[in-house]
Amino acid sequence: MQIIEKKVTRRKAVGWLGVLSLVAMAGAALNPWKNKKNPRTVKMLTQDGKLVEIDASLLASNAQKISDKELQNWVSSK
């Protein structure tokens, strides 16, 4: 029987290290457990004139635009 010696050369070791690092980076980029969902916020004006940011999921879905005159009456009435 003949025994075959396997030599691990420096070039092969560096090559495998490069392949493993590429696989690790690809795995990190495609991580399904990573939460990529960014909360969407909307800027709104309060009755006392302050500008606030509100999460869009908390707003009602039947949004209607008001006219400039209605807005002026709403602000001046408070």
**pLDDT value of residue 74:** 77
Question: What ranges do the domains of the chain cover?
Answer: 41-77
Instruction: Tell if the pTM clears 0.85, that is, is over it.
Output: no
Q: Give residue 58's pLDDT band: very low, low, confident or very high (50, 70, 90).
A: confident
Which amino acid appears at position 31 of this protein? N
Instruction: Tell me the Ramachandran region of residue 26: left when phi exceeds 0, alpha when psi lies from -120 to 50, beta otherwise.
Output: alpha
Q: Whole-angstrom Cα distance, residue 37 to residue 58? A: 16
| Residues linked to residue 44 through DSSP beta bridges, in sequence order | 52
Residue pointed to by tokens 């990529």? 36
pLDDT digits (tens, 9 = 90+) for 12-53: 888 999 999 999 888 877 776 666 667 788 898 888 889 999
